[in-house]
Amino acid sequence: MDITLVLLGVVLITYGWYWAGITESRTTAYALGVGSLLLALTFAFTGGQGGDAIGGGLWALGAIFAFLAAANAWNESSQDRTYGMFALLFAVGAFFAFMAFDTAGDIAGQYSYSALLLVVTFIMHFISAALVPDNRGFKAFVGWFTLFAGAALLYFGFANALDAAIDPM
């Protein structure tokens, strides 16, 4: 079981639930804050899985994203352009992680697919928050997409435990 992907999946499911308009902001902010704290503490005390730079980068990225998501949910400002710019930054970081995972031949495929899924999710958050912040229908679509992307990350996190490891690209 990969706790990084599990926690990121739970954070995305929670945030997608909020963006889709299903839940209220305050309750979502508390759940995202807990996810942010767990990711940040794990990063602070382990530096990532095995101390490697890519694992540590994913922990840090997840902690910062969950914190920003909690702040957006608390302030009910999910259309904040600053969040949109951070989403673009996260998309670029996830793309570089995808490139690193894809070129390293000994890494399981779920990491490459997870990073690619994060790229698409964060690009859609950038478009929704920074470019078309007034389009409620697109925001709801992005919310549902984020929820399903989180479910996929959750599955990828449990892939080894389920004996369903995914082949690399």
List, for residues 27-80, the tens digit of each pLDDT value: 777 777 777 777 777 776 765 555 565 566 666 777 777 777 777 766 655 557
List, for residues 103-158, the tens digit of each pLDDT value: 776 666 778 888 889 899 999 989 988 888 888 899 899 999 999 999 998 888 88
Query: What's the pLDDT score for residue 103?
Result: 76
| Token couple for 40 | 């940040």
Name the residue among 37, 58, 40 with its Cα closest to residue 49.
Answer: 58
Query: What's the pLDDT score for residue 133?
Result: 82
User: For residues 155, 124, 13 and 115, what is the CA-based torsion angle, rounded to 10 degrees?
Assistant: 30
Name the residue among 98, 131, 132, 140 with its Cα closest to residue 117.
Answer: 98
Query: What's the pLDDT score for residue 124?
Result: 94
Q: 87 Cβ partners below 8 Å, 6+ apart?
A: 122, 123, 125, 126, 129, 130
Query: What's the pLDDT score for residue 49?
Result: 55
**pLDDT surpassing 90 at residue 83:** no
pLDDT average, residue stretch 83-99: 84
Buried b (16+ CB within 10 A) or exposed e, 16-40: bbbbbeeeeeeebbebbbbbbebbb
Query: What's the pLDDT score for residue 54?
Result: 59
Q: What are the chain's domains? A: 3-157 (1.25.40.600)
Q: 101 Cβ partners below 8 Å, 6+ apart?
A: 54, 107, 111, 112, 115
Cβ atoms of 39 and 62 closer than 8 Å: yes
Quickly count: other Cβ atoms within 10 Å of residue 82's Cβ. 13
Cβ atoms of 153 and 2 closer than 8 Å: no
pLDDT averaged over every residue in the chain: 78
> pLDDT over 70 for what percent of the chain?
79
* Model pTM score: 0.81
| Token couple for 114 | 């997870």
If you ran DSSP here, which 8-state letter would residue 80 be given?
-
Going 42 to 45 to 50 to 56, the CA torsion angle's sign is: positive
